Amino acid sequence: MKLIAAFAGTIFACAAASAQAEPFPAPHSGSTLVEIEQSLDAWRGKPIAFPGRIQRMEDGYEGRPLLRVLLPRPNPDQREIWVSSQVLPEARQFKIGDVVIVYGTLERAAEDDPVTTPVYDTAYHVLGECVVNATTKRIYYAPQADAHCDAWREGMMPGG
């Protein structure tokens, strides 16, 4: 009986801890990009989330923004990553200098893409499913990403 009570107590403690999870976890930083560059295929399709500051913006497909984001420390080389935002074009409420938190998946950038090839200087980018603009305090979801974004907002890293 003590074992069952201890097990139930552990479950309750775990449930309480997960209920208090920080919203929008963003565990990746500039040092993550070093790992990605060393093993891109291992990271491909994996979820990634990070805060950063918009350094550059370009027009992507269907008016959706391409965002060049400076990642946080540790980031000794001041590394940046391109985010191909999947949010609707009406959400083009971003400005250079805005602080954002991004959740998406890491993908290899197409070598002959007419929109991204002239812009990107890396072989990879993040397909940004959820973008929080911390400057304006607005949240943007890609149309098909509600479940992932809701889970991320609740403190989980979906797809991981």
Q: Which residues contact 109 (CB under 8 A, 6 or more apart)?
A: 82, 116, 117, 120, 122, 123, 124, 125
Determine the pLDDT at residue 5: 40
Determine the pLDDT at residue 22: 87
Interval 40-55: pLDDT, tens: 999 999 999 999 999 9
Complete domains list, the chain, with CATH: 23-153 (2.40.50.140)
The token duo for 114 is 């007419």
Determine the pLDDT at residue 54: 96
Determine the pLDDT at residue 124: 92
Q: Residue 67's closest CA among 18, 17, 13, 116? A: 116
Q: Which residues contact 70 (CB under 8 A, 6 or more apart)?
A: 52, 53, 55, 78, 79, 80
| CA-to-CA separations, 97 to 51, 53, 56, 126, in angstroms, rounded | 12, 6, 9, 19
Q: Residue 108's closest CA among 46, 33, 44? A: 44
Work out the average pLDDT over 52-67: 92
pLDDT band at 4 (very low <50, low <70, confident <90, very high): very low
Interval 70-98: pLDDT, tens: 998 888 889 899 999 998 776 557 999 99
| CA-to-CA separations, 43 to 37, 103, 112, in angstroms, rounded | 9, 14, 21
Interval 122-140: pLDDT, tens: 889 999 999 999 999 999 9
pLDDT band at 6 (very low <50, low <70, confident <90, very high): very low
| CA-to-CA separations, 83 to 5, 52, 77, in angstroms, rounded | 48, 11, 19
